[in-house]
Structure 1
Amino acid sequence: MDFNLYKASSKDTTVTRPGVTFNYRYFFSPATEGKPTVLFLHGFPSNGYECWRHQAAFFVDLGLGVLIPDLLGYGGTSKPQEVEAYAKSLMAGDIISILEKENLQGKGTRIYAIGHDWGCALTSGLATFYPDRFAGFAFLSFGYLKPNPNFKIAEFYKNYAAIAGYDECFGYWEFFKTPKAAETIEAHMDAFLSLLYPKDPITWKTNMAPEGKLQEWVESDTKTNPLSSLKPEDFERQKAELLKGGMTGPLNWYKQYALEEVAKDDKLVPPENYTIKKPVFFAATSLDYICVPNGSSAFMDASTCPTLTRKTYETDHWVQLAEGARDVLNRDLLAWIKEFEVRQ
């Protein structure tokens, strides 16, 4: 979808939490009569357009409703500096407020929430705090994060690395949680985005997953060839947005977990909601060397996702952007939605 067309269909609204009001910017194209709505939740370090432009065009053309917010910390949305503001329960409540403002509620309303990367954490929050508001949940590249009131980051690192089959997957989180991370990345944004969107996916295993490697890459201004699907103008537009808003907000998504804040939030989830009883779609990306498919599959079994559709894509983390893979993904998501729409 063209950026100017996307921008023309975007709007701002406010959501209120106890003692604070945040602005949210989002794209919205209403569904034609009788069709469902898809809610797309982006991850790091994207905003709504940078993550979902290819999906927006596809689903809008088919008449489905499409709602794509810039999530907290990104784009035209507020960017609170406090880690506590990024709790899943609070952000999920924000999303529900936006849906209600667009009258996406009540009998006959069918919404499918689709997340990528950290958007999967928020999709998990919607599935556990507001399960009855949605017809289904999709997780791209990363999976469902079952609530864990006893979450410990060291245990998470260890267990995930054992599944991946190498020493470290999330070593870069240790840098992201430091006070200087945002400033350092902002000062070396070209190198940072080069590492986040490399042409060779193995770059993540060698220069991002091990602790200290991402910081070393960024501070030395190292660069590599970018994804073929990321044009120079895409790179520059995303760079400008991140520099405008700063990196503190986006990094707070990591700090929720790296600082174990998420355990407080997970204590609020009713245990009966740990299992997603609605249909679930999981897009495994076989060339993703951090969000490895087996890692997500470990959290998604018959006990947590009894109605699970799994598809595997021979691509890296950015399945929704990758040439070829994104078109297959779009068709698969549509087929999944249609399957369960027929059962309504």
Structure 2
Amino acid sequence: MEGLVIRHRTVEVNGISMHVAEAGPEVDAKGAVLFLHGFPELWYSWRHQMDHLGARGYRCIAPDLRGYGGTTAPPDVASYTAFHMVGDLVALLDTLGLAKVFLVGHDWGALIAWYLCLFRPERVTALANTSVAFMRNIMIRNGPDFVNPIEYFNRAYGPNYYKCRFQEPGVAEKQFAPAHAKRLMRQMLCHCFSHGVFCDEEMDDHNYPTSPLPPWLTEADMDYFVTSFEKTGFTGAINYYRNFDKNCELAAPWADAKVQVPTKYIVGGGDITYNFEGIQEYIHGGGFKEDVPLLDEVVVIPGAGHFIQQERAQEVSNHIYDFIIKF
């Protein structure tokens, strides 16, 4: 991270105040790259990629998304739909004077990136998405036999699955209290979401409170995340999950739409999202390419987990750069 210079500012977009981190040239850049983080993360998750691409002449922009970090967290659960998120991003691009950007997403940021490419493809030059593939049957109500995502997850993984447990306001907040941020962040960043599992039972106890960090995460990195979530709590982040079903209803007019943006998809072989039932058959069997006709490449990094842009920072940075340099 030596040599990384981050500029910070707060902008007013779509009725909220959004904290934005930037790196690389402010003008005369090769292009702008918009990074979208996931759960439970911040702009900081993209520090390595911002350093890498900023040094190569790209203007790098990484906001704290609605409900996270230095960005407004509306109290109403209904304020966290995909339409709100896409609206935030379009307003951000307008405020920054950017007609189009290269787009990079991870986890929930990847889902939002897919929605942005569906709703406003004219704002995206190319997409390098990580972790979460485009999943029409999870993202869009698309027929009479459609099953709402939370019902699907409940059937597939049971009511204790974290996406299901997050649904009732107030319940998850007891477990995800700001006072528990240090333990929770250590568990989630180091031990959960990888190798096909989420640590449902382990999130309720005090496992791993002082376990060694993996080599890709320093104590200073962990402190950055923990300090932020101690201040904000996790409610804003959890509210994304409470809009899974609503997003599908809102996106129903796009039931037959395809993602018409040049795309590269990068995932860790041990990522929970790469081990959902049927997902590998979809990704490699032609369904993914059918839904994303301009899919350029699928990259599976063996042994990598969920937080791939941090865990395999150099590899992911290289993959993103090698893709966007084509445009």
TM surpasses 0.5: yes
Identical aligned residues as a percent: 22
Counterparts of 2:29 and 2:11, CA distance in 1: 26
- Shift of residue 145, structure 1, vs aligned partner: 3.7
Change (3 A) 1:200 1:81: closer
2:279 alignment partner in structure 1:
295
2:219 alignment partner in structure 1:
232
1:5 alignment partner in structure 2:
5
- Shift of residue 2, structure 1, vs aligned partner: 6.6
- Shift of residue 168, structure 1, vs aligned partner: 6.3
**Mean Cα displacement is larger for which, 142-151 or 121-130?**
142-151
Say yes or no: does 1:198 pair with 2:198: no
Equivalent position to 2:28, from 33, 44, 48:
33
What per-residue deviation string (whole Å, max 9, x for no partner) do you get for residues 15-50 of structure 1? 23xxxx21001023446536121110000011101x
Say yes or no: does 1:241 pair with 2:224: no
2:318 alignment partner in structure 1:
331
Say yes or no: does 1:320 pair with 2:309: yes
**Structure 2 residue matching 1:43: 3-state secondary structure:** coil
Say yes or no: does 1:217 pair with 2:202: yes
Counterparts of 1:133 and 1:331, CA distance in 2: 23
What per-residue deviation string (whole Å, max 9, x for no partner) do you get for residues 271-307 of structure 1? 56x2111211110210113442762762652321112
Q: Letter of the 1:183 partner, please give it.
A: K
Q: Letter of the 1:284 partner, please give it.
A: V
8 Å CA contact 1:188, 1:219 repeated in 2? no
**Structure 1 residue matching 2:129: 3-state secondary structure:** strand
- Shift of residue 176, structure 1, vs aligned partner: 1.9
1:94 alignment partner in structure 2:
88
Change (3 A) 1:170 1:263: farther
1:277 alignment partner in structure 2:
260
**Structure 2 residue matching 1:198: 3-state secondary structure:** helix
**Structure 1 residue matching 2:291: 3-state secondary structure:** coil
- Shift of residue 138, structure 1, vs aligned partner: 2.1
1:174 alignment partner in structure 2:
164
8 Å CA contact 1:26, 1:70 repeated in 2? yes
Q: Compute the TM-score of the two structures, normalised by the length of structure 1.
A: 0.81
Say yes or no: does 1:261 pair with 2:246: yes
1:113 alignment partner in structure 2:
103
8 Å CA contact 2:140, 2:249 repeated in 1? no
8 Å CA contact 1:157, 1:170 repeated in 2? no
8 Å CA contact 2:267, 2:299 repeated in 1? yes
8 Å CA contact 2:34, 2:62 repeated in 1? yes
Change (3 A) 1:66 1:4: closer
1:211 alignment partner in structure 2:
none
- Shift of residue 233, structure 1, vs aligned partner: 1.7
Q: Letter of the 1:230 partner, please give it.
A: L
2:132 alignment partner in structure 1:
142
Q: Letter of the 2:185 partner, please give it.
A: L
Counterparts of 1:193 and 1:306, CA distance in 2: 37
Q: Compute the TM-score of the two structures, normalised by the length of structure 2.
A: 0.85
Change (3 A) 1:173 1:201: closer
1:78 alignment partner in structure 2:
72
Change (3 A) 1:102 1:5: same
The Cα RMSD (Å) is 2.7
Counterparts of 1:133 and 1:203, CA distance in 2: 35
- Shift of residue 118, structure 1, vs aligned partner: 0.5
Q: Letter of the 1:181 partner, please give it.
A: A
Q: Letter of the 1:317 partner, please give it.
A: H
Change (3 A) 1:181 1:204: farther
- Shift of residue 180, structure 1, vs aligned partner: 2.2
8 Å CA contact 1:143, 1:297 repeated in 2? no
- Shift of residue 3, structure 1, vs aligned partner: 11
